[in-house]
């Protein structure tokens, strides 16, 4: 039987989860609220559910304390929510933020429900399969190297006690052939789907901090969702201005270069990366490119379209292009892409005007279930 408190507890969790659902947009558009916290969990600061009552407002930070000190000395703490559960001074509860830890999987599930995302169909049938041996039990035969000493000893002891040949005064146990136990194993086939996300970002002068923040939040959620769908997700980060290079995750979000923009450089590098490391037969490849849509020249845009058409799209499950609005960019690139690939469902474009559009953009990217 589930204890009563568990019922109340799960009720509370449901409400909290309901809260997450309703306010999910808010959490997502505020990046600082979603802090990955070791061990694959996320701490979401969650306001405690407070029942409204007629209570006194803040009495402008007054109170009584006890201890040494001269007038003017600072009083440690804020006089509120003390430990020991007994603070009488300032009993009013402030807007205490309670962090509810949700695992990333849970979060992805919640997001999936909220956005109505379909589960992703793994690409092809020839997904990579590995075998893994696991020791699961004991058996009577086997190589000596796998003999389980403890189990063997126990069998022998039991046999000797049963036969009456056990002498407590002289407890010598001699195992015979039948007593021996060996560890046995089972081979589990493990279907393994491998996925890689290649993030590309325009870091030319026109991409400001706010634009990068949007990219960071968006890529976090895409990452979270795809991770819930694949085991062993790899990610690669490419930044580009007029030239492109592969960088670490930290660098990806921090760098600010200045200079021109040649998107084709990134696409070229991406194609090379795929050819070198991730063969399309074995990998589910997702490429996302974020830019403010301001490309160097019409020629370069034509090169990009060629690259996407012949190199990237055939290899990727999906190619996503997110255009972040910036005060400098012309935003032309998305129009060019759209006109070139109007009918190709593997290419998804999305415009992100502000943080509030992130949710819609993610839905746009992931609704295909590819």
Bridge-based pairing state of the strands 283-291 and 318-324: parallel
Q: State the minimum distance, in angstroms, from the CB of residue 96 to another protein.
A: 10
| Calculated CA dihedral for residues 256, 262, 266, 269, nearest 10 degrees | -120
Contact 96, 47 (CB under 8 A): yes
In the complex with another protein, the residue whose CB is nearer, 33 or 43, is 43
Residue 91 vs 209, nearer CB to another protein: 91
Q: Report the C-alpha gap between 233 and 317 in whole angstroms.
A: 14
- Nearest 10 degrees: Cα torsion 44, 35, 204, 347: -60
| Cα–Cα distance for residue pair 6/324, rounded to 1 Å | 45
Write down the residue that tokens 């415009």 correspond to. Answer: 351
- Residue whose CB is less far from another protein, 102 or 307: 102
Query: Measured from the CB of residue 37, what is the shortest distance to another protein in angstroms?
Result: 13
3-state SS assignment for residue 186: strand
Between 86 and 345, whose beta carbon lies closer to another protein? 86
In angstroms, what is the minimal distance from the CB of 197 to another protein? 34
Q: Which helix (H) or strand (E) holds 364?
A: helix 358-366
CB closer to another protein, 68 vs 167? 68
Q: In a 3-state reduction of DSSP, which class is residue 181?
A: coil
Instruction: Compute the least distance from the CB of residue 224 to another protein, in Å.
Output: 24
The least distance separating another protein from the CB of residue 43, rounded to whole angstroms, comes to 12
* Identity of the residue, 43 or 233, whose beta carbon is nearer to another protein in the bound complex: 43
State yes or no: residue 39 binds another protein (CB under 8 A): no
Least Å distance between CB 50 and another protein? Answer: 8
Residue choice 11, 30, 186, 256 for contact with another protein (CB under 8 A): 11
- The C-alpha atoms of residue 217 and residue 194 are separated, in whole angstroms, by 23
- Told to check if 45 binds another protein by CB under 8 A, we report no
In angstroms, how far is CA 76 from the centroid of its own chain? 38
- Considering only the stretches 8-16, 185-193, 290-298, 328-336, report the one whose residues sit in contact with another protein under the rule CB under 8 A: 8-16
Is the Cα dihedral 226, 230, 231, 237 positive or negative?
negative
Tell the smallest beta-carbon distance from residue 47 to another protein (Å): 11
7 part of the interface to another protein, by CB under 8 A = yes
| Angle (nearest 5°) at CA 139 between 137 and 143 | 110
Size of the site for another protein (CB under 8 A): 56
As measured in angstroms, the least distance from the Cβ of 93 to another protein is 10
Nearer to another protein, 8 or 113 (CB): 8
Residue 51: CB minimum distance to another protein, A: 5
42-50, 143-151, 220-228, 361-369 -> range binding another protein (CB under 8 A): 42-50
| Residues in contact with another protein, shown as a per-residue x/- string from 208 to 227 under the rule CB under 8 A | --------------------
Question: What DSSP designation does 204 have?
Answer: S
Based on CB atoms, which residue is closest to another protein, 72 or 143? 72
Count of all residues that appear for the chain in the document: 370
Residues 46-105 that bind another protein (CB under 8 A): 48-79, 82-92, 98
> What one-character-per-residue DSSP string does 249-310 give?
HHHHHH----S---HHHHHHHHHHHHHHH--TTTEEEEEEEEE-S--S-HHHHHHHHHHIII
Residues that bind another protein (CB under 8 A): 1, 3-5, 7-13, 15, 48-79, 82-92, 98
């Amino acid at each position: 039987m589930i204890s009563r408190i568990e019922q109340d507890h799960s009720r509370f969790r449901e409400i909290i989860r309901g809260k997450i659902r309703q306010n999910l947009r808010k959490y997502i558009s505020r990046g600082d609220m979603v802090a990955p916290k070791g061990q694959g969990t996320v701490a979401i600061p969650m306001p405690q559910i407070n029942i409204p009552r007629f209570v006194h407002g803040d009495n402008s930070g007054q109170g009584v304390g006890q201890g040494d000190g001269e007038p003017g000395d600072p009083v440690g703490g804020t006089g509120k929510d003390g430990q020991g559960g007994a603070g009488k001074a300032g009993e009013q509860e402030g807007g205490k933020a309670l962090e509810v830890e949700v695992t990333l999987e849970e979060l992805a599930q919640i997001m999936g429900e909220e956005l109505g995302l379909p589960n992703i169909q793994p690409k092809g049938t020839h997904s990579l399969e590995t075998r893994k041996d696991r020791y699961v039990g004991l058996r009577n035969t086997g190589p000596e190297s796998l003999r389980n000493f403890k189990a063997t000893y126990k069998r022998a002891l039991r046999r000797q006690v049963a036969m009456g040949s056990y002498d407590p005064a002289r407890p010598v146990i001699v195992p015979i052939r039948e007593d021996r136990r060996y560890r046995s194993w089972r081979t589990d086939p493990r279907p393994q789907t491998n996925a890689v996300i290649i993030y590309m970002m325009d870091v030319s002068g026109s991409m400001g901090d706010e634009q990068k923040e949007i990219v960071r939040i968006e890529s976090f959620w895409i990452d979270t969702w795809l991770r819930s769908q694949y085991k062993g997700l790899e990610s690669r980060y490419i930044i580009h201005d007029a030239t492109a290079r592969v960088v670490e995750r930290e660098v990806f979000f921090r760098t600010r270069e200045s200079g021109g923009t040649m998107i084709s450089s990134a696409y070229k590098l991406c194609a090379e990366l795929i050819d070198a490391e991730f063969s399309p037969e074995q990998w589910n490849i997702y490429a996302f490119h974020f830019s403010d849509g301001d490309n160097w020249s019409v020629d370069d845009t034509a090169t990009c379209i060629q690259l996407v058409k012949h190199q990237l799209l055939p290899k990727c499950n999906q190619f996503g292009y997110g255009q972040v609005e910036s005060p400098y960019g012309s935003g032309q690139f998305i129009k060019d892409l759209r006109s070139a690939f109007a009918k190709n469902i593997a290419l998804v474009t999305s415009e992100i005007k502000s943080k509030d559009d992130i949710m819609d953009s993610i839905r746009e990217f992931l609704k295909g279930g590819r």
